[in-house]
Amino acid sequence: MLRRRLLAALAVPAMAALAAFAPLGAQAQNTFPTRSITVLVPFAAGGPTDTVTRLVAEVMGRDLGQPMVVENVGGAGGTLGAARVAQAKPDGYYLLLHHIGMGTTPSLYRRLSYDAVNGFEPVGLVTEVPMTIIARKDIPANNLQELVALIRKEGTGLNYAHAGVGAASHLCGLLLQTAVGTQMTTVPYRGTGPAMTDLIGGTVDLMCDQTTNTTEHIRAGAVRAFAVTTPQRLPSLPDLPTTAEAGLPGMEVTVWHALYAPKGTPADVVNRLSRALQVALRDEKLVARFADLGTAPVAQERATPEAARAFWQADIAKWRPIIEAAGQYAD
Ligand code: MLT
């Protein structure tokens, strides 16, 4: 009896000692997360990245048993927010949900306070979102051909809104101006959420933004839509022609999004987050809401650290020669 009690008494400190020497990842697997997690959106609230993040964070939080709080840090095309996460403690409690800007930033910005190529542990891809060319509702153009003619006539007399150099709305604006062969005056915002407010108010003339931000405003008639930047029309906006149908073939772009933790976050923590992301992307309500906003979650096997890393690095490699050839940098 005494021997058994002694063994039991020794076993507890021995287990505690062993736990103290266990790798951080192994501890995390058992305990993570023990408190709320913050997901940083590197653009203003109310925009497309914010919308996607809030939908995903709510379901992920339920699976993780802890709330996921969304924080918006907009500015400098998403690099201010990305820097904040890259420099955060790598413990899984401060994450970044960012988009195609993760592929363009390393080439567009030559002076950054963080490592834009290796400074993150990808958790998984989230979605790929189509874009729409839209304008203030009283713009004097009834279709894309008339809009192109107006851009050619007015040039810098028209204001094109975007979310900073490297933002999706900026890239789409570059494609549009290149396709039309005319420059407009560009107006940067901290995100297309506030840019949309000004477009609806008529302060700016045009924008190209993701369907996750534009769909409801198009349906409500608050802005005028000219085309969607995908090869096929969207079931959510069936009357909207594709860019090819409307007269700008080749002007196709979708905006990929992924979730990241800071570099050095233990693999077990990243994997736990990835499993929660996969659960979120299977959630029926989330899938339905995404569909209503013109998008869909990625396939489950793409919501993994490996798939996200491969896609991110390939996108960096894809954009580098394009940006270097254009010789246009953000700094
Ligand atoms: C946003 O969330 O504001 C957008 O994703 C910005 C953009 O990239 O156009």
Which of 70, 192, 293 should be mutated for ligand 1, with most atoms under 8 A from CB?
A: 192
Which of the 8 DSSP states describes residue 77?
A: G
Token digits for 291? 């569909």
Q: Residue 273 in 3-state DSSP?
A: helix
> Whole-angstrom Cα distance, residue 167 to residue 188?
10
Q: Is the CB of 294 under 6 A from ligand 1?
A: no
Token digits for 326? 């254009």
pLDDT of residue 323: 87
pLDDT of residue 29: 52
Pairing of strands 185-188, 120-136: unpaired
> Whole-angstrom Cα distance, residue 263 to residue 119?
5
Residues in the chain: 331
pLDDT tens, residue by residue, 7-64: 343 333 333 333 333 444 445 556 999 999 999 999 999 999 999 999 999 999 999 9
CB-neighbour burial class of residue 152 (10 A; exposed 0-12, middle 13-18, buried 19+): exposed
Nearest CA to ligand 1 atom 5: 49
pLDDT of residue 328: 75
Q: Is the CB of 47 under 6 A from ligand 1?
A: yes
Distance from chain centroid for Cα 234: 20
Q: What is the whole-number distance in angstroms between the Cα of residue 212 and the centre of ligand 1?
A: 10
Q: Which atom of ligand 1 is nearest to the CA of 191?
A: 3
Q: What is the whole-number distance in angstroms between the Cα of residue 9 and the centre of ligand 1?
A: 58
> Whole-angstrom Cα distance, residue 23 to residue 319?
38
Dihedral of alpha carbons 151, 154, 155, 161, sign: negative
Nearest CA to ligand 1 atom 3: 191
Q: Residue 323 carries which side chain, given as an amino acid letter?
A: I
Place of tokens 């809030």: 54
pLDDT of residue 140: 98
Q: What is the whole-number distance in angstroms between the Cα of residue 22 and the centre of ligand 1?
A: 41
Q: What is the whole-number distance in angstroms between the Cα of residue 249 and the centre of ligand 1?
A: 24
Beta bridge partners of 121: 261
pLDDT of residue 30: 63
- At residue 291, φ and ψ (nearest 5 deg) are -60, -40
Q: What is the whole-number distance in angstroms between the Cα of residue 159 and the centre of ligand 1?
A: 17
> Whole-angstrom Cα distance, residue 22 to residue 266?
13
Token digits for 213? 């931000």
pLDDT of residue 261: 98
Whether 43 and 50 have beta carbons less than 8 Å apart is answered as yes
Which of the 8 DSSP states describes residue 237?
A: B
Q: What is the whole-number distance in angstroms between the Cα of residue 210 and the centre of ligand 1?
A: 8
Average pLDDT, the chain: 91
Place of tokens 């000692």: 17
Question: Cβ of 114: how many Cβ atoms within 10 Å?
Answer: 18
Q: Which atom of ligand 1 is nearest to the CA of 51?
A: 2
Model pTM score: 0.90
Distance from chain centroid for Cα 2: 62
Q: Is the CB of 50 under 6 A from ligand 1?
A: yes
Q: What is the whole-number distance in angstroms between the Cα of residue 49 and the centre of ligand 1?
A: 6
CB-neighbour burial class of residue 63 (10 A; exposed 0-12, middle 13-18, buried 19+): middle
Each residue's pLDDT, cut to its tens digit, for the chain (331 residues) gives: 333 443 343 333 333 333 333 444 445 556 999 999 999 999 999 999 999 999 999 999 999 999 999 999 999 999 999 999 999 999 999 999 999 999 999 999 989 999 999 999 999 999 999 999 999 999 999 999 999 999 999 999 999 999 998 899 999 999 999 999 999 999 999 999 999 999 999 999 999 999 999 999 999 999 999 999 999 999 999 999 999 999 999 899 999 999 999 999 999 999 999 999 999 999 999 999 999 999 999 999 999 999 999 999 999 999 999 888 877 788 8
> Whole-angstrom Cα distance, residue 232 to residue 178?
22
Whether 225 and 237 have beta carbons less than 8 Å apart is answered as yes
Q: Which of 160, 194, 219, 161 is nearest to 47 (CA)?
A: 194
Q: Is the CB of 192 under 6 A from ligand 1?
A: yes
Q: What is the whole-number distance in angstroms between the Cα of residue 91 and the centre of ligand 1?
A: 27
Question: Cβ of 30: how many Cβ atoms within 10 Å?
Answer: 9
Which of 43, 56, 134, 212 should be mutated for ligand 1, with most atoms under 8 A from CB?
A: 43
